[in-house]
Amino acid sequence: MTYLAPCYRYNDGTLFVNDVNIKDVAKSHETPFYIYSATQIRQNIRAFKTALNSALDPQNYTICYACKALNNISVMSLIAEQGCGADIVSGGELTRALHANVPPGNIVFSGVGKNDQEIEHALNSKIRQINVESAAELYRIEAIAQRLNITAPVVFRLNPDVKAGAHEKISTGQKENKFGLNAEQVMDLYRYAENSAHIMPRGISLHIGSQLIDMHPYDTAYKIAADFILSLRSEGFTPDTIDLGGGIGIIYDREDAPDLAGYAAIVAKHIAPLGLHMMFEPGRMIVGNAGLLVSRVIYIKETDSKAFLITDAGMNDLMRPALYDSVHPIFEVEKSDSQDTKSFDVVGPVCESSDVFSLDTALSADIAKDDLVAFTGAGAYGATMSSSYNARKIAAEFLVDGDVWKCIKRPITNEDLLQFENYTLKSDD
């Protein structure tokens, strides 16, 4: 049996999000759409805090939600209400975090390519820290801080060269990856920063990859990070922060659940004794299993060798299967009375051979046009990676809290997008 998060259940054969019937949402709004459970998001945050608090002093850490996973302002506000900050990777995400009432002092700016405007926005907003990923970036931050006559708080991203076992496209902690600096580079830049009038070095950060179920790579990486902190102290530096990144995975299909208590124990073993303030940046594990992509069957196509189930959702709505060969199990919103099944390749309408959600998938033999289906695990990297490719609309988003649901982002239609284009060559003269 494939995995279905606790916030989803069948009631008299129909799929519900908490106490909301998905069919009721689909009656009044076009598919495809994303639908999220506020209850599940709260439970995921609570589970992470419970694990950390079993091994750490809650006063000594801050959770900064990695909002690249899902940056809808309503969702970010919900997460901020649970006491979380934000890990951002762009000026746009900074703007969203501020609109979501995330305290600037709990915002961390990660990423390798911050431009001048983004750096200035971050410094003027008085965020907690900028995570530096190159010497060139540090010098730009210094120059902008000098022009603004302020001191920029930074930490340096250490690349520990640890293979984390995730898909190669979401591995971030090896020397071949574009992220971070080696230990020698960090040490040199730390020395430089300590002598700068406009840079305040606060410590180091690291992030080794995403969708990690096995906790052993964290054990290796955090030991390296702890040893490096000791090296900084041996030079007389006094770091006060260590940003431990995120990357903890979720169950999409049949994976084991990540051992959150085991993760917390690793942090307690290597990091807590250093007495630094610890930053955690979970994204996927907070929202991933809290979201569905709901779609409608538009055709059943039969060939000599295959049966295709064609949905009105495509790779522009859920990119991960095409990009990472990821699995997002599909559930029928209304169960059939028949026990007979049939094997389908579940595909979308986008004009790409990679627009495939799953192969040889057993579904009800009598599934038909206009039936509703739901793809699980769409809370993370669903809406945020979506696009209008093939001039398709960008799907709406809904949030469910108990028996109440609301649209938190309406669809972005072709008509909306045309407003941004000047599609005539006729002169105004």
What is the per-residue pLDDT for 429?
A: 53
d(CA 76, CA 63): 13
The region that residue 32 occupies, defined by phi over 0 for left and psi between -120 and 50 for alpha, beta otherwise, is beta
Domain region containing 313 = 8-37+288-418
**pTM for this model (two decimals):** 0.94
From the candidates 7, 64, 84, 351, which is the catalytic residue?
351
Last residue of a domain, one of 245, 260, 287: 287
**Chain-centre distance of CA 351, in angstroms?**
27
pLDDT, position 179: 56
Q: Check residue 172 and give its pLDDT.
A: 46
Low-confidence stretches of the chain (pLDDT < 50) are 167, 169-174, 176, 178
Q: Is 332:375 a contact under the CB 8 Å cutoff?
A: no
Chain centre distance of CA 253: 18
The reply to whether 277 and 295 lie within a common domain is no
Is 244 found in the same domain as 163?
yes
Distances (CA, A) of 62 to 35, 108, 200: 28, 11, 20
Average pLDDT, the chain: 94
CATH number at residue 118: 3.20.20.10
| Same-domain check for residues 253 and 357 | no
How far is C-alpha 98 from the chain's CA centre? 18
Residues 122 and 52 in one domain: yes
182 close to 159: Cβ distance less than 8 angstroms: yes
Helix axis angle, 38-53 relative to 260-270, nearest 10°? 40
Summarised one tens digit per residue, pLDDT across range 100-135 is: 999 999 999 999 899 999 999 999 999 999 999 999
Q: Which of 287, 314, 330 is the last residue of a domain?
A: 287
Q: Does 185 share its domain with 241?
A: yes
C-alpha distances in Å from residue 335, one per residue of 18, 235, 278, 384: 17, 65, 46, 30
- Domain membership of residue 2 (yes or no) is no
CATH code of the domain containing 346 = 2.40.37.10
Read off the DSSP letter of residue 24: H
Closest of 280, 264, 277 to residue 56, by C-alpha:
264
Residue where one domain finishes, among candidates 287, 315, 350: 287
Q: What is the pLDDT of residue 162?
A: 78
Residues 183 and 155 both lie in one domain = yes
List, for residues 154-172, the tens digit of each pLDDT value.
Answer: 999 999 887 655 545 444 4
Task: Please provide residue 345's backbone torsions phi and psi, each rounded to the nearest 5 degrees.
Answer: -90, 120
Q: Is the separation of the CB atoms in 117 and 91 below 8 Å? A: yes
Residue 173's pLDDT is what? 41
Indicate whether 429 belongs to any domain: no
**DSSP output for 51-89:** HHHTTS-GGGEEEEEETTS---HHHHHHHHHTT-EEEES
Is residue 12 domain-shared with residue 120, that is, in the same domain? no
User: Within this chain, do residues 307 and 388 fall inside the same structural domain, yes or no?
Assistant: yes
- 333 lies in a domain? yes
Number of domains the chain is built from? 2
Tokens of 199: 């840079």
Would residue 351 show up in a list of annotated catalytic residues for this protein?
Answer: yes
> Residue 178 has what pLDDT?
46
Q: Does residue 352 share a domain with residue 300?
A: yes
Tell me, yes or no, whether 77 and 207 share the same domain.
Answer: yes
Q: Is residue 46 one of the residues assigned to a domain?
A: yes
Distance (Å, whole) CA 249 – CA 286: 10
Same-domain pairing of 21 and 42: no
Q: What is the pLDDT of residue 324?
A: 87
Task: Look at residue 426 and tell me if it is in a domain.
Answer: no
Per-residue model confidence (pLDDT) at position 424: 73
Tell whether 428 is covered by a domain: no
The pLDDT, as a whole number, for residue 220 is: 94
Residues 6+ apart with CB under 8 A from 42: 78, 82
How far is residue 206's CA from residue 221's CA, in Å, rounded to a whole number? 8
Helix, strand, coil distribution of the chain in percent, nearest 5: 35, 25, 40
Alpha-carbon distance of 219 to 21, in angstroms, equals: 43
Q: Is residue 424 part of a domain?
A: no
Q: Is residue 1 part of a domain?
A: no
